[in-house]
Amino acid sequence: MFNKLALTTILAAPGVTAFTPAHSTSSRTTGTSLRSTVDPTVITKKEYQDICGVSFDDSNLAARLQKTSYLYPKHVEVIEDFAPMVDEMVDTILLETGDKAWQPQDYLPDLATDDYIDQIKDLREAAAGVPDDVFVVLVGDMVTEEALPTYQTLLNTFEGCDDPIGTTDSPWARWSRGWTSEENRHGDLLNKYLYLSGKTDMRSIEVTIQHLITSGFNPGARKDPYRGFLYTSFQERATKISHGNVGKLAKEYGAKDLQKICAKIAGDEGRHEKAYQAFSTEILKRDPDGLLMEFGDMMRGQIVMPAELMTDGKDAKLYENFSEVAQRLEVYTAIDYADIIEHLVNHWKIGELTGLSPEAEKEQEFICRL
C-alpha cells in the first residue's frame, strides 16, 4: 500500500517539474523546493480517499476539514452547546456601551471647565498623602491593565471563541469584543490618574507597558477553551481582589477619588469573574471529566499572573519587586491565591461530582486536597 501513497514528497531540483493536480498545475525551473504531490498514475481516487479519509470531489471535504481543524473538537462542541446562554450574558453581564456606560472621564478632573486647575490641585493633594508603596502597587496594576491587547489576542486563541473576521456576529465573538471594551476603560482611567497625580515617572511607565505588550504572556491555555475559562475564572477574581484592596488603602489615606476609581474597576472585574465562572459551570454540566482533567493539570503548575514578564528594560526583577510590595501591603498575597482556589472548588462543587471516569476521579481527589 505504501508504494501507492497518495501524498509523495519529492525534492524538485533545478530543471525538474513536479507533478500537481490538473486544476493547479505549476512548475519550477530554478531553485529547490519541497513539494507534496498526488500522482494519479500510481493511485486511484478510491485509494486516496481510503488513505486520507476524504475525497477531493466530495462535498464532505469542507465539513471534514472544519472538524479536523481544531485541536479540541469535543471542547468546541461543548461550548457551542451553551452559546445561547452566552448570547444572553452579553446583554445581562456586560453593561451598556457609549453614553450609558461609565467612562474614565467620569472620575477625573474635567479640563474643559473653568475650575479644572482647582480640581487637579485637589487630586494631587489627596494623592500626596498616599504612601509611595501603595503607588508602586497601583502602577503595577495599571501596567497590567494596559496590556489588554495581549489578553484579547489570547481570548481569540481559545478554540470556538475566536472572532475570525473582527466583526463576527457569534455569541462568543460578541462577548470577546464586549469584555475588551469594558476592560479598556481600566488602563485608561488609571493611566490618566497617575499622570495627573504628578507622583510617577510616566515615561518609564510607558516604556514598561510597551515592553510587557511586546513580551506577551502565556497563561498555559494552549488554545483550549476549558483551560482558558479556568484561567480567567481565577484571574478575574485575583484582579478584583487587588484593585479592591488598593481602593481600601486609598480610602485609609484620604484619597477618596482614588478609592472610587479602584472600587469601580473592581466592580467590573467582579462581573466578569461571575461570567467566566458560569462558563466553566456549563462545561462541568456537559463534560465534567474533561474539565476536571484540565483543572487538575493546571493546578499541578501555578496560575501565572498576566504581568509576570513586566520589565522596564533595566530591572530584570521588576515584577518580583512589585509582587513583594503587593504581598507586604496585603494587596494580593499567597493567602489570596489559596483562597481563590478554595472558592472555585466550592463554587463548582467539585467534591460533589459523581459518575466520573477513574482518571477524572483521581483529579477530583487531587483538586479537593489543595
| From 163, 182, 224, 236, active-site residue | 236
Please indicate if the annotation marks 23 as binding a ligand: no
- Residue 308: active-site member: no
| From 269, 273, 282, 287, active-site residue | 269
- Residue 186: active-site member: yes
Please indicate if the annotation marks 269 as binding a ligand: yes
- Residue 236: active-site member: yes
| Amino acid at residue number 322 | F
| Spatial contact of 290 and 74, defined as CB atoms under 8 Å apart | yes
- Residue 168: active-site member: no
| From 141, 146, 183, 224, active-site residue | 183
| From 102, 311, 343, 361, active-site residue | 102
| From 159, 224, 272, 287, active-site residue | 272
- Strand, helix or coil for residue 242: helix
Please indicate if the annotation marks 186 as binding a ligand: yes
- Residue 172: active-site member: no
| From 75, 141, 186, 257, active-site residue | 186
**Backbone region of residue 36 per phi and psi (left: phi > 0; alpha: psi in -120 to 50; beta: other values):** beta
| Spatial contact of 19 and 27, defined as CB atoms under 8 Å apart | no
Helices (H), the chain: 45-52, 60-68, 73-81, 83-92, 116-128, 132-146, 148-155, 171-197, 202-215, 225-252, 256-286, 288-300, 318-328, 334-347, 358-368
Reported residue count of the chain is 370
Please indicate if the annotation marks 159 as binding a ligand: no
| From 141, 146, 159, 268, active-site residue | 268
Distance CA 161, CA 156 (A): 6
One-character DSSP codes across 76-143: HHHHHHTHHHHHHHHHHTSPPPGGGS--GGGGS--TTSTTHHHHHHHHHHHHHTS-HHHHHHHHHHHH
CA distances from 361 to 226, 290, 356 (A): 18, 11, 6
| From 145, 163, 224, 257, active-site residue | 145
Alpha carbon 175 to its chain centroid, in Å, reads 12
**CB-based burial, 316-350: b 16+ in 10 Å, e otherwise:** eebbeebbebbeebebbbeebbeebeeebbeebeb
Residue 230 is placed in which grid cell? 479556568
Residue 86 is placed in which grid cell? 452566552
- Residue 145: active-site member: yes
- List the binding residues: 145, 183, 186, 236, 269, 272
- List the binding residues for Fe cation: 145, 183, 186, 236, 269, 272
Active site residues: 102, 145, 183, 186, 236, 239, 268-269, 272
